[in-house]
Structure 1
Amino acid sequence: MYVHPLNRWEDEPEIVEFIQNNPFATLVSNISKRPWATHIPLLLAKDKNGDSILSGHIAKANPQWKELQDEVLVIFQGPHAYISSSWYNHENVPTWNYLAVHLYCSIKLIEGEELMDHLKSLVDRFEEGRPYRVAVETMSEKFLESQINGLVGIELKIKEVHASSKLSQNRDAVNYKNIVKQLEASLYDTEQEIAKEMKKRME
């Protein structure tokens, strides 16, 4: 991912929070010399050595797992918004604001107890706060086994981080504030989210 120097995002706690808040990721690798992408939720954690890892799973019917190389790309994308040049006090072109994180990771397959622990964590994470919570522990052994047989667990160790926070950093204070004002008035949740992110950087 190309990251303009003005948009380079290097605040680790913010990036960690971003990944945790936007866990539905895109796993990219090559299959038969062609790019292949799978969309899956990934959980961020630390392994026993203190290294940052992501855990997830893909369907065994998905051929991607059979050709996973030493390195894969994982993409996390957050809110984004169209920025109209009519909001500026000068002539310019429209653009797009967004938050995105690309991670280059080494990968290994997980199974058995490790895969089961991942599934428990995944379900617990997304069932939290729901009125009729589902838990892996309450599923019948026969049913659970039939489901796990169709999955391939993956653990991704993060090797390299490329993060872009493109939020009109190239605009002066007057135009920056007007962009925020216009986005706050939008009917679209994602545009309002970008306004919130831009306001954080005004503080």
Structure 2
Amino acid sequence: MYTPRAFALDDLPEIQQLIQHTRLAQVVTFGEQGLQASHLPLLLNPDEGPNGTLYGHLAKANPQWRDLHNGSDALVIFAGADAYISPAFYPAKAEHGKVVPTWNYIAVHAYGKAEVFTDAERLLKLVSALTERHESGRAQPWAVSDAPADYIDGMLKAIVGFALPIDRLIGKRKLSQNRSAADMAGVREGLTASQDVRDQTLARFIPKEPV
């Protein structure tokens, strides 16, 4: 990911927080069938390895798991908030007109090689942890144990788990830090005034001072 210095995010705890706040990641590999990508919910153990370890699973019918099994390098993309930035947001537009549209966004790329596993006990622990994470906010959370045991056993036979120690991380926060403080304030105000909740979300990340 091209990351100019002004947009680089190097703080490991902050990067890991962004990973944990991203509900669906994109796992990209290259193998015998060329490039493959899957959209997956993942778990991060931040304390396992120097950058943390990612856990997830693929359907056994999904051939991408073979790339992981064969030692393919994996790229995992965590896309955060994003928004179109109109030149109309910038006070500089009225001053000299030398402005163009751009896109602001937050993203993390994680790289590594995965270990694949099919052990039923380990898979059950993984899917239970994933379920607990996404059910925890509900008034009556559903648990894997709510389903018949023989049904869950059959479902576990249909998936392949993986653990991916993160070898390298690239974090990027493109938030108009290369503009003046006035232009950054204009971006923040413009996004806050938008009717789109995605724009409003990104507005909260715009810093007050340029890099």
One fold, TM greater than 0.5?
Answer: yes
Q: Does 1:193 align with 2:201?
A: yes
Q: Tell me by how many angstroms 1:23 deviates.
A: 3.0
Match of 2:145 in 1: 137
> Taking structure 1 as reference, are residues 166 and 74 closer, same or farther at Cα in structure 2, changes over 3 Å only?
same
Q: Tell me by how many angstroms 1:31 deviates.
A: 3.4
Match of 2:112 in 1: 105
Greater strand content: 1
Match of 1:20 in 2: 20
Match of 1:58 in 2: 58
Q: Tell me by how many angstroms 1:51 deviates.
A: 6.0
Distance in 1 (CA, whole Å) between partners of 2:10 and 2:51 is 18
Aligned residues: 202
4+ residue segments displaced more than 3 Å: 46-51, 199-202
> Taking structure 1 as reference, are residues 200 and 119 closer, same or farther at Cα in structure 2, changes over 3 Å only?
farther
* CA distances 1:67-107 after superposition (whole Å, capped 9, x unpaired): 22342110000110000112222321100000000000120
Contact 1:98-1:165 within 8 A present in 2 as well: yes
Normalising by structure 2, report the TM-score.
Answer: 0.89
> Taking structure 1 as reference, are residues 134 and 193 closer, same or farther at Cα in structure 2, changes over 3 Å only?
same
Note the aligned Cα RMSD (angstroms).
Answer: 1.8
Contact 1:120-1:136 within 8 A present in 2 as well: yes
Percent identical pairs in the alignment equals 37
Match of 1:121 in 2: 129
Flag structure 1 segments of 5+ consecutive residues without an equivalent. Answer: none
Distance in 2 (CA, whole Å) between partners of 1:65 and 1:186 is 41
Flag structure 2 segments of 5+ consecutive residues without an equivalent. Answer: none
Distance in 1 (CA, whole Å) between partners of 2:85 and 2:163 is 37
Distance in 2 (CA, whole Å) between partners of 1:48 and 1:161 is 15
